[in-house]
A = this chain, B = another copy of it.
Amino acid sequence: MVDTARDDPRGRPAAERVQRPQARTTERREAVLKAAMNVFGARGYNKGALVEVAEQAGMTHAGVLHHFGSKEGLLVAMLKYRDGEEVAGVPARAQTEGPAFLQHLVDTVEENTHRRGVVQAYTVLSGESVTDGHPAHDYFQGRFHGLRAKIAGVLGEVSGNTDERELADAASALIAIMDGLQVQWLLEPDAIDMPRILSRTIDELVDRLRRP
């Protein structure tokens, strides 16, 4: 057997190694990541089993562990993959900048109404992430922190308002609306028009920030 754990007692996953991957490896890993999205989205991280992820990717659960080292490693890779970061050799999308970012938020929410699985995965995992020692805790903490800063910056730009606290509050509220609406929408899709409500809220928010 190949010794995958020469230095690290917990085993060093193949994804971290510098050496040569084989031809179809990238697409196999992407298949696993997509399967993880499905399974963790449908069942949550704790209830989602590696066996099911593996099945959907067309291999055994030991094969999944070969690529990602552990279930936790798979989750983290999946979250980064969702964010468009490069994970073991997969693409990276461009980030929208400046005022257009607010429209980008609305567009994304509009898109999301056609991608229930993605929304469900995000909702389940962000909820789970507040539990003690959850492997996605740091990810979501960092995500919210960064998103707040970004949105606050854009809101300041657009409104001319310079009150840091007010901008931060508005940013928090905006993120909260988006996330909160997703839960309600998942439970009763026909009762919630996410893009309309978000768009309206942004308009009101910018309007308010423009006044002293």
Which residues in A have some Cβ–Cβ distance to B below 8 Å? Answer: 42-44, 46-47, 120, 123-132, 137, 140-141, 144-145, 148, 168-169, 172-173, 175-181, 183-184, 186-188, 191-193, 196-197, 200-201, 204, 208
- Which chain B residue lies CB-closest to A203? B208
Instruction: Report whether B123 and A187 are in contact in the complex, using a CB–CB cutoff of 8 Å.
Output: no
Interface of A is mostly: helix
Q: How far is the CB of A110 from chain B (nearest CB, A)?
A: 16
Pairs A–B under 8 Å by Cβ, sample size 29: A42-B131, A44-B46, A44-B131, A46-B46, A46-B47, A123-B127, A124-B128, A124-B131, A125-B127, A127-B183, A129-B187, A140-B183, A141-B187, A141-B188, A144-B183, A169-B196, A169-B200, A172-B181, A172-B197, A176-B176, A176-B178, A176-B180, A176-B181, A176-B184, A176-B197, A177-B180, A179-B179, A179-B180, A204-B204
